[in-house]
Amino acid sequence: MIFDTIVAKTTADGTSAINVIRVSGEDSFSIVNKIFKGANLEKASSHTIKYGYIHDQDKTIDEVMVFLYRAPKSFTAEDVIEISTHGGNFVANEVIKLLIKNGARLAENGEFTKRAYINGRLDLTEAESIMDIVNAKTNKQLTLANNQLRGDVHNLVDNLQNKILDIIANIEVNIDYPEYDDVEHLTTTTIMPKIKTLIENVDHVLKESNTGQIIRDGIKTVIVGKPNVGKSSLLNSLLKEDKAIVTDISGTTRDLIEAELNLDGIILKLIDTAGIRETNDVVEKIGIDRTIKAINKASLVLLVLDQSNHLTELDETLLNLTKEKPRIIIGNKIDLGNKIDLGHENIINISAKKNLGLERLSKEVKDLFVDESIISDSYTIISNTRHIGKIKETKKALEDAYAACENLIPIDMVEIDLRKAWSSLGEITGQNTSEDLISTLFSKFCLGK
């Protein structure tokens, strides 16, 4: 497919040592050649570097290095030139203006990666992994993204599709050529075990995806407790900075304070909430209402109790309020006493003020959410929310096919559900998907990607 020629800066805005400007399309070499003083780029070989100057008629804009990639051996599988200029937005913008003046068009967000996908250089999972690599904040996130980029998710999906396709193909042969003696005669009874095995395979993928999604997206975590229990001190200790105001005055935290914590490779999206108590202060009451809403939306609750005092009625209320949520109970102020015993329920005793006991929190979080045994460079885990949604659709279609078999529905009708399962998997890799989905996905990429 032939597209027009596009240009964008691939490096972030701001002052830096260099900027990189990418040009992709059929006319890349001729357009850049018009403004480049140095070697004749149109005659230059692929995968070479040329030194020279960008100029606007008699005016020199910048001294540059030009990297040349001829189709199809480039990121977009088109002719691509990357121009390394000196850093600074002004220089880069002047070069981009010149390129547009000479026939290029400013790229849309994610358009380079979109072209790589359309031209067959990447499938949809590999394209999405690029933004995951850009956004990675931990080594575990980076491992997942790189595994997806090298095609692990594609291979997993392809394997499941092939197993479904084998069943569909056998059904088709039975329908079209029933007279052949060497064709296995299929009935709903004979294909049920195969469908059941597929459902078990998909269930396994979904189970492990819980860990993948946690690593990729983090855990929405709220810190709750009565006033002055040390919630803000805990937040500051975890972040190793004074993010929240700490005082002895009840009601200091009136709004939600948000921050992110890398807890040994797992991102906790922390929210420090207002202490829950009876109050007539209108502003404080709003903060408490937001706390209750935050608890309901959270994936993890860090419930902070005061170890220097016995449980109060308000503590009991919070224990009941959060008992149905995944939670970790933290006994703060252990340096001042140890007066709370919750029986069989585990409690992590700490002193947020003196940074004591916090190392146990990482283990507790992983015990609740992460299967460490499946996290490795050689193991494939689905982590993308869109992919997980399509896997769930696949499971539902397979379950419908199995139910149809149980009800002795003719196999040509069972095939409809099997084809739906196969199609849902194809939407993960982009094998069959709508233009609207493609446009929406790539619009979330940054400019220059």
The DSSP-derived string for 146-194 is HHHHTTHHHHHHHHHHHHHHHHHHHHHHHHH-TT-TTSPPP-HHHHHHH
Whether residue 271 contacts residue 256, with contact meaning beta carbons closer than 8 Å, is answered with yes
Can you read off the two tokens belonging to residue 414?
């069972």
Specify the CATH number for 6-123; select among 3.30.1360.120, 3.50.50.60, 3.40.50.920, 1.10.760.10: 3.30.1360.120
Contacts of 181 (CB under 8 A, 6+ apart): none
Which three-class secondary structure string do you get for 69-116? ECCCCCCCCCCEEEEEEECCHHHHHHHHHHHHHCCCEECCCCHHHHHH
Whether residue 7 contacts residue 99, with contact meaning beta carbons closer than 8 Å, is answered with yes
Give residue 175's region: left, alpha or beta (phi > 0; psi -120 to 50): alpha
Q: 409 forms bridges with which residues in the sheet?
A: none
Which residues in 123-149 are b (16+ Cβ under 10 Å) and which e?
bbbbbbbbbbeeebebebbbbbbebbb
Fold of 218-373: Rossmann fold (3.40.50)
Fold of 137-214+384-430: Four Helix Bundle (Hemerythrin (Met), subunit A) (1.20.120)
Collapsing DSSP to helix, strand or coil, 55 comes out as strand
Gap between the Cα atoms of 223 and 30, Å rounded? 59
| Every domain range in the chain assigned CATH 1.20.120.430 | 137-214+384-430
| Every domain range in the chain assigned CATH 3.40.50.300 | 218-373
Q: How far apart are the first and last CA of the chain?
A: 19
Residue 122 half-sphere exposure toward CB, CA atoms < 13 A: 21
Place of tokens 């982590």: 383
Q: How far is the CA of 84 from the CAs of 12, 24, 27, 81, in angstroms? A: 13, 15, 19, 10
pTM of this structure: 0.78
User: What local confidence, expressed as pLDDT, does residue 441 receive?
Assistant: 76
- Tally: H helices and E strands in the chain: 14, 13
pLDDT (tens place) for every residue of the chain, 449 residues total: 668 999 999 998 888 899 999 999 999 999 999 999 999 999 999 999 999 999 998 899 999 999 999 999 999 999 999 999 998 889 999 999 999 999 999 999 999 999 999 999 999 999 999 989 988 988 889 988 999 999 999 999 999 999 999 888 888 876 655 555 444 556 777 889 999 999 999 999 999 999 899 999 999 998 888 888 888 888 888 887 654 434 443 444 444 577 888 888 889 888 877 655 555 454 445 556 777 788 888 899 999 999 999 998 888 888 888 888 999 999 999 989 888 888 888 899 999 888 888 888 888 888 888 887 777 766 789 999 999 999 999 999 999 999 999 998 888 889 999 999 999 999 999 887 777 777 777 877 777 77
